Amino acid sequence: MADGKDRIDEEAKRDAAASIAKAFQDVQAGEAAARQAEERLSRLEAKIEELLASAEAGVEGKEMEKVMEEVRGGEEGGGS
């Protein structure tokens, strides 16, 4: 009888160890996925900032063009 109980205890220990090992593997896989997602988000954030800076520069450039047109128009009107 004790022999059967010992076998069951050993099997339970092996099952528990296997479950714990699997849980650690799952945690590591989850951490790796989280790192990859964070890296992707960082790249997207950098691209968004780059696009915003480009758009702002374009708007500033257009505003500068308007100012220059006004200045040129003022010079032409004043010099005639």
* Helix spans in 1-80 (H): 2-79
Long-range contacts (CB closer than 8 Å, 24 or more residues apart) made by 64-72: none
Q: What is the pTM of this model?
A: 0.55
Instruction: Map tokens 């092996």 to a residue.
Output: 14
Q: What is the per-residue pLDDT across 28-56, written as a single tens digit (0 to 9) for each?
A: 999 999 999 999 999 999 999 999 888 88
Rounded Cα distance, 31 and 24, in Å = 10
What's the chain's average pLDDT?
Answer: 86
pLDDT of residue 55: 83
pLDDT of residue 80: 46
